[in-house]
Amino acid sequence: MEKKAILKVNGMTCRHCVESVESALEGTSGVKRVEVNLDGNVVEVEYESDEVSIDEMKEIIEYQGYDVE
């Protein structure tokens, strides 16, 4: 089932941060679309909930060096 999540991510400060998060999530099975808002420190993700969970996506972002609330 396709779902949408908005994750609050702390520590992103530049375009490189945005690209790092986007590429990590876009390379994940089940992730359909990623939009990072640097000013609001949020990541909006459309994903297939039967392929990837919110917790897995949080771990992927944290592995890139950012904190997810």
pLDDT over 90, % of the chain: 100
Low-confidence ranges of the chain (pLDDT < 70): none
pLDDT, residue 55, reads: 97
* Contacts with 53 (C-beta within 8 Å, 6 or more apart), sequence order: none
pTM over 0.85: yes
pLDDT, residue 66, reads: 97
User: Which domains are delineated in the chain?
Assistant: 2-68 (3.30.70.100)
